[in-house]
Amino acid sequence: MTDEELIWRISGGSGDGIASTSQNFAKALMRSGLNVFTHRHYPSRIRGGHTYTEIRAAADPVDSRGDGYNFLLALGDSFARNPQEGAVYGNEEIKPLSENLDELREGGVIVYDEGLLDPSEIPNFDERAEENDWHVFPLDLRGLARDMGREVMRNTAGVGATCALIGMDLEHVEDLMRDAMPEKILDPNLEILETAYDQVREEYDVDGVDVSVPTGEHEETQLLMSGSDAISYGAIDEGCRFIAGYPMTPWTEVFTIMTQNLPELGGISEQVEDEIAAAALAVGASHAGVKAMSGSSGGGFALMSEPLGLAEMTETPLVLVEAMRAGPSTGMPTKPEQSDLEHVLYTSQGDSQRVVLAPGTVEEAYEQSRIAFRLAYEYQIPTILLYDQKLGGELKNVPKSHFDREPNPTLGKTLTEEELAEQPHSADGKFHRFQHDVEDGVTPRSIPGQKGGRFLATGNEHDPTGHISESPDNRVAQIDRRTQKLEAIRADLDTEDTSSYAGPDDAEYGILTFGSQQGTVEEAVGRLNEAGVSVKSLGVSDMLPFATEEVEAFIESVDEVLVVEMTASGQFRGLVQKNLGRYGEKLSSLLKYNGNPFEPAEVVDGFEAAIIEGDGDASDHQTTFVPAAGD
Amino acid sequence: MSTFSAIGEEREIDRDEYTPGVEPQPTWCPGCGDFSVLKALKQALPEVGRSPEETLLCTGIGCSGKLNSYLDTYGFHTIHGRSLPVARAAKLANPDLEVIAAGGDGDGYGIGGNHFIHTARENHDMTYIVFNNEIFGLTKGQTSPTSPKGHKSKTQPHGSAKEPLKPLSLSLNAGASYVARTAAVNPNQAKEILIEAIEHDGFAHVDFLTQCPTWNKDARQYVPYIDVNDSDDYDFDKTDRVEAAEMMRTTEEALYEGEVLTGRFYVDEDRLSYGQEKRQIGEMPEEPLAERYWDDDYDWERSYDQFVDKHE
């Protein structure tokens, strides 16, 4: 754990501006020289319902949510107060102050809106505050906002009060407000910010507050970016200029970012009737010679199974993104989980011939979005970028230079008309688009409209011209060729740096994880080593073709391995065993599926309970331990 | 040389160019109406001057999907019901292509019904031919969305309790800007209608009655037919959607009473195609997007220059 860290939680109702306020405050902290990481919790509801964002800020790098928090700004759920909606919202109105109050650290600060929240509704609030040495500041944020502007500006009052209490200069907050707000609302907001700041400093002894803003410095310009931003920018830098989609949480973020940016780039975005159409449009656009993508979340992705298989069979380059949320069915739409792993690997009839990558961080989301497009087009294969609500929505600072890279708009193995003329054709002039014997299994393609390139793309098994064929010899040749591409892709991926390691090479124990839990696991590994436990971690991204050799070497190098994932059935552990064919006795699982991502302490405690003490569950956490086979 | 030099090439096109070397003779059943669609297309395409390599034909699954094997163009034999989303994206990616989609009544009005409604609604500049034989043929004779009420089959042993779907009315209401019906037994009209449909700048829907002699033996051969545009018995303005709607309704009911009415039912030449609409609001480039990937001089934008500053 970083000693000097601020974990600021802003809580209120959906629609109260929690997301935008926290984004700006995170940016202000980043601009002040700190590293930041946000964790977002929200209900599937338009108005009202408890929502919060935590911003973790420290001078040292932060790649995970923290353990609990040390500052709570409880704005109150303004929509839960609607008298007509009382029955619907029930007891939600006190939640911004009461929810997870146990997780507020000793010596922590509470600022709450006394106009909206009444702590007497929380059992033993005063006693708990005293026991934990919490510093409690009831402020009339709403009243202040109303007097100087509008009630909704109480967010600003809360930020002003925060700055006063943690000793943060208003400069960066004010700069951001000037950038973002039109003049009409800027002036009252600035006034509210400064008034709240001054009032707190005048009326309270702020020197007695233990929580203060850390100080740090960046060596280069930083960007505050989400996984969804990074995926979108990766696609754009690979020359993707076509997206088709249908709204679904949390994939909508990528769809929206792409849609807002594509017209400026002369690209096309299509919001269509359903996800079957969305994926089919991406196939059609790609077939016609444009770099194209689509995507969805669990249920919508299920509808894409058929077009996905069509892209496999017709060898149409295609990138799909799948933003996982808790399932099955509608599940918990706004809560993260990693349980679509098997769905994405195996959905659609026949043997899977696709690539699946699961980036672990915002930086990797950018890189692997680019890799996904490169592989899809070079190898003419659908590639799926698998991430989740956590990675898609969390904000993190990334050096600006990370994005300073050349674009790669190439279509892969396509032919000019001059080159096409040299290629094998049938007597009737049909181009042999699907030749049997080619290097790496990739047979060059033509684009409709090219002279000398006509062929048939079909979901049926087909001969070299694309003509439907059920000849056994042709069938075997085509399947083998398409499968050969996966071997070539595996070798190609070995030249990319998609995996992430933490901890000493010669560690005694290992933790294996995939996708978005990587940063949290790596923080836990750091803490465990500081506490004298010899452990290292491997965060895997290559799900298909699987990073078999790398994972095997990792498992071989340690005595025992804990597999950490957000599924209930241990899907990733199953994938490891399927690909490696053994190690059942060496792998145990730490699972979490309650809708919240792991905290570092849960991994630390879970590891200690599972591996060191060997008796399983860390019972004060909502995680589940599954022992190794034979244990 | 242009990237896509087949597009817009000025030359005489022979209809034999559309006949493939493999399977030049279709394997549809003898007497099948599908032959007529193939023949009409082979006549219409040279007449409108679109060669095999500037044409993309997208089909669904079923006997109609075999069209891709027998008409030698760039082809995309997609999956059941999904020819339209593939086709319309190809058109957006490269508007210079001649894009034609085709499928059966189960494919287009059943499993792909949602795509049909929305493609018509958006008025994509393409032709959609529905081989309507009122039956599922390739799967051996099950009741389809256009089978008449009471139609008996292995999957509707007591006779279908459902009213048949009204494809022309559906198309009009969804937003198609050209709606016609022709029949396999009427080759001249079929050719003329396909020419008009291909040349129409918008979504042109042709409900093509194609008799199934194998699985729909009870059904009419779609004779005798009446061309409602030529008949003295019918007088309506095909550019007026209210009159068109009434004529369609009459036609759809008449079919199940043994009277085959065909012709152009609705034509709106003023409505902008979807591509034109998108260009007007700045959501689609003027030049075909597909060309850009071959332009060595194009300066590809980077997110680093365009977008990342707002994250500072």
Tell me what pLDDT residue B233 has.
96
Assess if residue A301 is contained within a domain. yes
In CATH, what number is assigned to the domain containing residue A60? Answer: 3.40.920.10
Identity of the residue in B72, B79, B118 whose CB atom sits nearest the CB atom of A306: B79
Tell me what pLDDT residue A65 has.
93
Which residues of A are less than 8 Å from B283 in CB distance?
A: 263, 268-269
Identity of the residue in A273, A283, A466 whose CB atom sits nearest the CB atom of B114: A273
Q: What is the pLDDT of residues B125-148, one digit of tens each?
A: 999 999 999 999 999 999 999 999
A175 at interface of B, judged by CB pairs closer than 8 A: no
Tell me what pLDDT residue A618 has.
65
Q: Judge if A17 and A157 occupy the same domain.
A: yes
CB-based contact B311 A229, cutoff 8 Å:
yes
A267 at interface of B, judged by CB pairs closer than 8 A: yes
Amino acid A465 reads T
Strands A535-540 vs A242-245: parallel, antiparallel or unpaired: unpaired
Q: Judge if A319 and A233 occupy the same domain.
A: yes
CB contacts under 8 A, A 177-196 vs B, are none
Q: What is the pLDDT of residues B226-237, one digit of tens each?
A: 999 999 999 999
Tell me what pLDDT residue A216 has.
95
Q: Judge if A580 and A471 occupy the same domain.
A: no
Question: Of B56, B66, B289, which to mutate for an interface test with A (greatest number of A Cβ within 10 Å)?
Answer: B289
CA–CA distance, B194 with B45 (Å, rounded to integer): 9
CA–CA distance, A602 with A68 (Å, rounded to integer): 11
Q: Judge if A199 and A78 occupy the same domain.
A: yes
Q: What is the pLDDT of residues B170-222, one digit of tens each?
A: 999 999 999 999 999 999 999 999 999 999 999 999 999 999 999 987 666 78
CB-based contact A448 B283, cutoff 8 Å:
no
In CATH, what number is assigned to the domain containing residue A569? Answer: 3.40.50.920
pLDDT tops 60 at residue A85 = no
Exposed, middle or buried: residue A508 (CB in 10 Å: 0-12, 13-18, 19+)?
middle
CB-based contact A449 B52, cutoff 8 Å:
no
Which residues of B are less than 8 Å from A460 in CB distance?
A: 77
A224 at interface of B, judged by CB pairs closer than 8 A: yes
Question: Of B278, B303, B306, which to mutate for an interface test with A (greatest number of A Cβ within 10 Å)?
Answer: B303
CB-based contact B118 A292, cutoff 8 Å:
no
Q: What is the pLDDT of residues A285-328, one digit of tens each?
A: 999 999 999 999 999 999 999 999 999 999 999 999 999 999 99
Assess if residue A293 is contained within a domain. yes
Which residues of A are less than 8 Å from B82 in CB distance?
A: 276-277, 280, 306-307, 310
Identity of the residue in A223, A239, A285 whose CB atom sits nearest the CB atom of B89: A285
CB-based contact A467 B22, cutoff 8 Å:
yes
Identity of the residue in A290, A452, A460 whose CB atom sits nearest the CB atom of B77: A460
pLDDT, average across residues A390-408: 97
Domains of chain B and CATH, by start: 15-311 (3.40.50.970)
Domain end position, chosen among A477, A493, A509: A493
Positive or negative CA dihedral for A205, A206, A211, A216? negative
CA–CA distance, B286 with B289 (Å, rounded to integer): 8
Cα angle A165-A170-A171, degrees, rounded to a multiple of 5: 155
Question: Of B79, B122, B284, which to mutate for an interface test with A (greatest number of A Cβ within 10 Å)?
Answer: B79
With a CB cutoff of 8 Å and minimum separation 6, the contacts of A437 are A481
CB contacts under 8 A, A 429-468 vs B, are 429-430, 447-460, 465-468
Among B237, B52, B63, B26, which residue's Cα sits nearest to residue B139? B63
CB atoms under 10 Å from CB of A568, counted, come to 16
CB-based contact A285 B93, cutoff 8 Å:
yes
Q: What is the pLDDT of residues A181-239, one digit of tens each?
A: 999 999 999 999 999 999 999 999 888 898 999 999 999 999 999 999 999 999 999 99
% of chain A beyond a pLDDT of 90: 88
Q: What is the pLDDT of residues A223-256, one digit of tens each?
A: 999 999 999 999 999 999 999 999 999 999 999 9
CB-based contact A448 B308, cutoff 8 Å:
no
Question: Which residue of chain A has the CA closest to B21?
Answer: A428
**Contact (Cβ atoms closer than 8 angstroms) between residue B145 and residue B165:** yes
Q: Judge if A292 and A364 occupy the same domain.
A: yes
Taking each helix axis from N to C end, the angle separating A18-31 and A154-166, rounded to the nearest 10 degrees, works out to 30
A229 at interface of B, judged by CB pairs closer than 8 A: yes
The band of A1, judged by pLDDT with boundaries at 50, 70 and 90, is: very low
Tell me what pLDDT residue B219 has.
62
Torsion region of A384: left, alpha or beta (phi above 0 gives left; psi -120 to 50 gives alpha) = beta
Give the closest-approach CA distance of A272 to chain B in angstroms.
8
Which residues of B are less than 8 Å from A449 in CB distance?
A: 3-4, 6-7, 53-54, 74, 94, 96-97, 290
Size of interface A-B (CB pairs under 8 A): 237
Q: Judge if A245 and A124 occupy the same domain.
A: no
Domain end position, chosen among A472, A493, A514: A493
Amino acid A105 reads R
Give the closest-approach CA distance of B76 to chain A in angstroms.
5
The band of B118, judged by pLDDT with boundaries at 50, 70 and 90, is: very high
A271 at interface of B, judged by CB pairs closer than 8 A: no
Question: Of A226, A290, A348, which to mutate for an interface test with B (greatest number of B Cβ within 10 Å)?
Answer: A290
Question: Of A24, A241, A373, which to mutate for an interface test with B (greatest number of B Cβ within 10 Å)?
Answer: A241
CB-based contact B292 A241, cutoff 8 Å:
yes
Give the closest-approach CA distance of B295 to chain A in angstroms.
11
pLDDT: which is higher, A2 or A40 = A40
**Contact (Cβ atoms closer than 8 angstroms) between residue A405 and residue B304:** yes
Q: What is the pLDDT of residues A542-592, one digit of tens each?
A: 999 999 999 999 999 999 999 999 999 999 999 999 999 999 999 999 999
CB-based contact B312 A306, cutoff 8 Å:
no
Give the closest-approach CA distance of B227 to chain A in angstroms.
35
Where do we find the tokens 């199934």? B212
A291 at interface of B, judged by CB pairs closer than 8 A: yes
CB-based contact A241 B90, cutoff 8 Å:
no
In total, chain B counts a number of residues equal to 312
Assess if residue A218 is contained within a domain. no
CB-based contact A263 B7, cutoff 8 Å:
no
Q: Judge if A276 and A394 occupy the same domain.
A: yes
Identity of the residue in A221, A239, A289 whose CB atom sits nearest the CB atom of B94: A289
Which residues of A are less than 8 Å from B113 in CB distance?
A: none
pLDDT tops 60 at residue B307 = yes
Where do we find the tokens 């501006």? A17
Where do we find the tokens 């679509």? A340
CA–CA distance, B197 with B188 (Å, rounded to integer): 14
Tell me what pLDDT residue A82 has.
57
Helix, coil or strand: residue A396: strand
Q: Judge if A233 and A381 occupy the same domain.
A: yes
Amino acid B33 reads G
Helix, coil or strand: residue A282: helix
The band of A2, judged by pLDDT with boundaries at 50, 70 and 90, is: very low
A283 at interface of B, judged by CB pairs closer than 8 A: yes
CB-based contact A400 B312, cutoff 8 Å:
yes
Which residues of B are less than 8 Å from A404 in CB distance?
A: 304
Assess if residue A213 is contained within a domain. no
CB-based contact B74 A406, cutoff 8 Å:
no
Assess if residue A428 is contained within a domain. yes
Residue numbers of the domain that contains A477: 417-493
Give the closest-approach CA distance of B146 to chain A in angstroms.
23
Identity of the residue in A224, A233, A306 whose CB atom sits nearest the CB atom of B307: A233
Assess if residue A214 is contained within a domain. no
Tell me what pLDDT residue B31 has.
92
Give the closest-approach CA distance of A101 to chain B in angstroms.
32
Q: What is the pLDDT of residues A444-470, one digit of tens each?
A: 999 999 999 999 999 999 999 999 999
CA–CA distance, A285 with A596 (Å, rounded to integer): 37
Alpha helices in chain B, H assignment, sequence order: 34-48, 67-70, 83-93, 105, 113-122, 167-174, 187-199, 241-255, 274-280, 289-292, 303-306
Q: Judge if A435 and A389 occupy the same domain.
A: no
Q: What is the pLDDT of residues B237-286, one digit of tens each?
A: 999 999 999 999 999 999 999 899 999 999 999 999 999 999 999 999 99
Omega of the bond leading into A119 within 30 degrees of 0 (cis): no
Question: Which residue of chain B has the CA closest to A401?
Answer: B304
With a CB cutoff of 8 Å and minimum separation 6, the contacts of A630 are A584, A585
Assess if residue A63 is contained within a domain. yes
Number of domains in chain A: 4
CB-based contact A400 B58, cutoff 8 Å:
no
Q: Judge if A22 and A131 occupy the same domain.
A: yes
Q: Judge if A358 and A262 occupy the same domain.
A: yes
Q: Judge if A622 and A535 occupy the same domain.
A: yes
Assess if residue A412 is contained within a domain. no
A287 at interface of B, judged by CB pairs closer than 8 A: yes
In CATH, what number is assigned to the domain containing residue A357? Answer: 3.40.50.970
Which residues of B are less than 8 Å from A33 in CB distance?
A: none
Burial A612-627 (b: 16+ CB within 10 A, else e): eeeebebeebebbbbe
With a CB cutoff of 8 Å and minimum separation 6, the contacts of B62 are B80, B103, B104, B106, B107, B131, B136, B137, B138
C-alpha distances (whole Å) from A360 to each of A369, A398, A603 are 12, 14, 16
CB-based contact A285 B58, cutoff 8 Å:
no
What is the DSSP-derived secondary structure letter of residue B138?
A: T
Q: Which two tokens stand for residue B229?
A: 């545009």
**Contact (Cβ atoms closer than 8 angstroms) between residue A404 and residue B304:** yes
DSSP letters spanning A434-447: T-SS-GGG---B--
Domain end position, chosen among A349, A368, A403: A403
